[in-house]
Chain A
Amino acid sequence: MYTQGLDQKGQTSKPAAVEESAEQLAAFQARIDAEEKIEAKDWMPEAYRRTLVRQISQHAHSEIIGMQPEGNWLTRAPSLKRKAILLAKVQDEAGHGLYLYSAAETLGVSRDQMVADLLAGKAKYSSIFNYPTLTWADIGAIGWLVDGAAIMNQIPLCRCSYGPYARAMVRICKEESFHQRQGFEIMLELTRGSDEQKAMAQDALTRWWWPSLMMFGPSDKDSKHSAQSMAWKIKRFSNDELRQKFVDVTVPQAEFLGLKVPDDDLELDEASGHYRYGDIDWQEFYDVLAGNGPCNRQRMAKRQGAHDDGAWVREAAQAYAAKQAAKAA
């Protein structure tokens, strides 16, 4: 569903364990510049590998945690059709998590390790999922805005220099565009409905707009890893470029729905064709990132609880497999 600016402030690369010669680095960069895909067994700089592990695993964790806010409305979906569509969407997210963990595993890190890092709070997931889904309209807003923002981020990732990630993203993007449409359709139905439903839709846009803009990550001037990721063609557009693209596409959609974007400074700049938007409250972004969003604790507690509840099941599966292996021997 989502990637957020993964290049957060204050993260520094550790020195590579092995010596990387200038020739190796130059040859690697030449392959990147020639738009060749880097594959799992190819030589790559340690920092490239580490950047990808961080980005892909964060993306995978986001898919898994992202199931929670939407799952929150599955039992209450207002029709069987909506229930089935939402269920299929949430299931897709589990599937995306699975391919992304597999893509990250090609870089030499196990899924167990990645999950352990998530549970230990060492790995991040997209902050957007630390906001609550309070009404059914939030399910529409997530599909429309959050998946819409995710698509902006993810389409360029289909051309990412790392082959396994790029291929996983091709598949994921196809499903995401369906998710985005179902979200917009929920909003459309609500805005054509009763006054109460319209108010529900407006409230959802009001609450999800700014967090959606924050999904693109810090402003370019504060984004430390961007330049290197761009040079490696892991990233193709800057955070601010993608954010602008999202605003330009989404504002007319809000107008079509008859909803007001909660930004008094929003205006179309006729000369450039771009919408100018107001200042993002970056303090809120960093607060949520630091663990102080409305649902950070709840999301992690649920994942930790599920993991802990599975302990006896994992032990049983291992014990059974060992018994079977002993019988076969």
Chain B
Amino acid sequence: MNADEALLTYVLRVADNALITGQRMIERVAGEAELEEELANANFALDYIGQARMLYTYAGELEGEGRSEDDFAYLRDTQEFRNFLLAEQPNGHFGDAIVRQFLFESFYLLQLEALADSRDKRLAEIAARAEKEIRYHLRHAAQWLVRLGDGTDESHARVARSLAEQWRYTGEFFAGDEVDSILQSEFRGPDLDALREQWLANVTEVLEEATLAVPGETFMATGGRQGLHTEHLGFLIAEMQHLQRAYPGASW
């Protein structure tokens, strides 16, 4: 794999995480209990869709075959998506959604901080912009996690369970491959070992404040990076792509 191919693959992975995360958040729209959370959720989802659009557009330019943002989002099949398994997990309850956002964004923020310093100027610009958004999202998720963890017995039990269920999908964040190595060596991309350490320290700090135990060593599920997803992603993709698939070539 050469550097150009690695960069393209990497950009698509980041874009897929943004799109699938955004799509899951969109599923919650109009269903939040509180109006303030409705605004926050829609706003954050909009940030993710915006990030996905910038990244897919850039991927199209890197590839040079004329593919648009919509070609990547709407005309690839499930196994061509490279998002983390965590992103595609169904929403569950409010606490599940908060835990997912917290675990992922704790990683994503560090990833973006590193990418903002990348030698690839365009990726660095996109990352710098996204970093500001995600910093704010993460603060929101962490605050809620603390409230829920240190709230009532019920809320504590609920988010402890969410954490136990979702922790198994976090190993994938740091399971680097050739693409990550090339990105690090050729484009000054993230050092995943350093990121893992920082991530665990940051996550531990918030979990302690939330009176939640950090889950111990456990089996880590992987596959998203290889396109081997959980059964959940296929339905998300089918729903998202419905109109483009039903009316091929139509302009909307």
Contacts and interface: CB of A to CB of B under 8 A. Distances in A.
Interface string A81-96: 1111001101100110
What secondary structure prevails in chain A residues at the interface with B?
Answer: helix
A194 B250 contact: yes
B23 A87 contact: no
Given A71-B30, A90-B30, A98-B35, A80 B52 contact: yes
Interface in A183-236: 186, 189-190, 193-194, 196-197
Among B30, B93, B158, B251, the one with the most A-chain Cβ atoms within 10 Å of its Cβ is B30
Contacts of B242: 76
B70 A79 contact: yes
Nearest to A200: B247
A308 to B, nearest CB: 8
A128 interface: no
Contact of A197 (B29, B148, B155, B247): B247
Nearest to B33: A310
B53 interface: yes
A323 B150 contact: yes
A309 B35 contact: no
Contact of B247 (A82, A196, A313): A196
Contacts of B95: 313
Contacts of B70: 79-81
A319 B252 contact: no
B39 interface: yes
Interface string B26-45: 11011111111011001101
Interface residues of B, number: 48
B243 A76 contact: yes
B94 interface: yes
B154 interface: yes
A314 interface: yes
Nearest to B23: A75
Interface in B68-82: 69-70, 73-74
Among B23, B29, B53, B74, the one with the most A-chain Cβ atoms within 10 Å of its Cβ is B29
Among A197, A305, A309, A319, the one with the most B-chain Cβ atoms within 10 Å of its Cβ is A319
Nearest to B151: A316
A57 interface: no
B152 to A, nearest CB: 5
A265 interface: no
A193 B239 contact: no
A305 to B, nearest CB: 8
B151 A307 contact: no
Contact of B252 (A88, A136, A317): A136
Question: 4 nearest interchain CB pairs?
Answer: A310-B33, A316-B151, A316-B155, A71-B30
Interface of B: 19, 23, 26-27, 29-36, 38-39, 42-43, 45-46, 49-50, 52-53, 56, 69-70, 73-74, 93-95, 146-148, 150-152, 154-155, 158, 239-240, 242-244, 247, 250-252
Interface of A: 64, 67-68, 71, 74-84, 87-88, 90-91, 94-95, 97-98, 101, 111, 136, 186, 189-190, 193-194, 196-197, 302, 305-307, 309-320, 323
